């Protein structure tokens, strides 16, 4: 019981507000990683985890049965669920992928505003643990294990200052990273052969709305969430 109480105390603990320079530095590093091609190639694996995790979360919410998950070294992924092949629930589940990292970042920004920075990291640990149960390929196991180990190390052995800085960085990274995969998706769709199995093209087959409109909706949501979430986080810093 003491161990459970200790773990809960860690999850629920209030976090100190970080100095302004910590938040500004976290934002700068997040932007650099998103814009620098070599760093982005590595960090995009985290975005893929959030993307596929969003598919799985919404699949559960709309009553589908989870079957498995695959994460690939080219930073693509597949979330597998069973249920009705058409309908509003499938549309929601499919739409969730490209907006998922941004929405998760917005939720994390809300927790930061409530001084729950450590909770952001613990939620990440929990999500990774659930995804580990569903993963069906070796690279996926490796990718989840690396991210999960970093998050768990921070929540269990990190100082309060390290945990807060990491939570702000992760949140800002998800917010800043959200629009880039959408731009990459449209570039891929414009090449010869396109991307017929992309989320946008699947949504076009599930609805009367063209794929390019779905791409625009992905981008609109992610940019709006970036502005809102960034304002939530950075406004107190500049105030």
Structure token pair of residue 175: 């917010």
Region of 83 (left: φ > 0; alpha: ψ -120 to 50; beta: rest) is left
Q: What is the pLDDT of residue 158?
A: 94
125 CB neighbour count, 10 Å cutoff = 20
Q: Is the pTM of this model over 0.85?
A: yes
Q: What is the pLDDT of residue 203?
A: 97
pLDDT in tens, 90-146: 999 999 999 999 999 999 999 999 999 999 999 999 999 999 999 999 999 999 999
Query: Length of the chain in residues, anyone?
Result: 239
Domain ranges within the chain, ordered by starting residue: 17-234
Contacts of 49 (CB under 8 A, 6+ apart): 71, 77, 128, 131, 143, 144, 147
pLDDT in tens, 187-229: 999 987 778 899 999 999 999 999 999 999 999 999 999 999 9
Structure token pair of residue 181: 């995969």
Torsion of the alpha carbons at 41, 48, 26 and 146, rounded to the nearest 10: -80
Q: What is the pLDDT of residue 14?
A: 81
pLDDT in tens, 138-188: 999 999 999 999 999 999 999 999 999 999 999 999 999 999 999 999 999
Mean pLDDT of 39-68: 97
pLDDT at 4 over 70: no
Q: What is the pLDDT of residue 13?
A: 73
Q: Residue 140 and residue 134: Cα distance in Å, rounded?
A: 10
């Amino acid at each position: 019981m003491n161990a459970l109480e200790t773990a809960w105390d860690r999850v629920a603990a209030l976090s100190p507000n970080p100095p302004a320079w910590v938040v500004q530095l976290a934002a700068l590093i997040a932007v650099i990683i998103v814009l620098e091609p070599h760093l982005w190639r590595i960090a995009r694996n985290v975005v893929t985890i959030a993307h596929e995790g969003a598919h799985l979360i919404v699949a559960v919410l709309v009553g589908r049965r989870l079957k498995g998950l695959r994460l690939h070294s080219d930073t693509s992924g597949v979330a597998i669920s069973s249920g009705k092949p058409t309908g509003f629930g499938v549309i929601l589940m499919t739409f969730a992928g490209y907006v998922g990292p941004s929405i998760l970042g917005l939720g994390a920004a809300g927790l930061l505003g409530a001084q729950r920075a450590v909770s952001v990291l613990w939620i990440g640990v929990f999500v990774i643990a659930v995804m580990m149960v569903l993963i069906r390929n070796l690279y996926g196991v490796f990718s989840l294990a690396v991210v999960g180990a970093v998050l768990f190390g921070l929540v269990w052995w990190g100082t309060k200052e390290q945990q807060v800085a990491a939570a702000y960085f992760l949140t800002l990274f998800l917010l800043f990273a959200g629009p880039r995969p959408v731009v990459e998706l449209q570039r891929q769709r414009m090449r010869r052969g396109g991307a017929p199995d992309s989320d946008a093209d699947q949504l076009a087959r599930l609805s009367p709305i063209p794929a390019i409109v779905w791409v625009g909706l992905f981008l609109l949501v992610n940019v709006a969430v970036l502005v809102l979430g960034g304002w939530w986080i950075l406004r107190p810093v500049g105030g």
